């Protein structure tokens, strides 16, 4: 089964596609405390004081999605029979 995303276009026009990229940053931070509540308070204090700031070195992945417009259609080929239908939701294209 294949999924083909495209838009309806008139001859001689150029299609425009809107993509959304979402990057994920992650860092593990160890905080000491007598209790979990104390450690959480310390974490939030450091975070709000910008002592813990994530940057490009904390990059751990990204998601690329296609955002549809009013002319977007999704053609699903199932057993060699294409079926076209409008779609109005973001379609995830890739993860890395």
**What whole-number distance in Å separates Cα of residue 13 and Cα of residue 6?**
14
pTM, two decimal places: 0.60
**What whole-number distance in Å separates Cα of residue 4 and Cα of residue 13?**
19
User: What is the domain partition of the chain in residue ranges?
Assistant: 2-8+26-95
**5 pLDDT above the threshold of 80:** no
* 3-state percent helix, strand, coil for the chain, nearest multiple of 5: 15, 45, 40
Q: Which of 76, 87, 75 is nearest to 1 (CA)?
A: 76
**80 pLDDT above the threshold of 80:** no
**What whole-number distance in Å separates Cα of residue 2 and Cα of residue 15?**
21
The mean pLDDT of the chain is 80
The DSSP code for 67 is E
């Amino acid at each position: 089964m294949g999924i083909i995303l495209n838009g309806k276009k008139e001859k001689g026009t150029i299609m425009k596609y809107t993509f959304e990229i979402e990057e994920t940053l992650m860092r593990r931070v160890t905080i000491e405390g007598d209790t979990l509540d104390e450690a959480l308070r310390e974490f939030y204090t450091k975070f709000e004081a910008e002592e813990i700031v994530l940057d490009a070195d904390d990059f751990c992945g990204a998601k690329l999605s296609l955002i549809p417009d009013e002319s977007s259609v999704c053609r699903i080929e199932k057993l060699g029979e294409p079926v076209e239908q409008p779609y109005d939701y973001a379609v995830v294209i890739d993860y890395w």
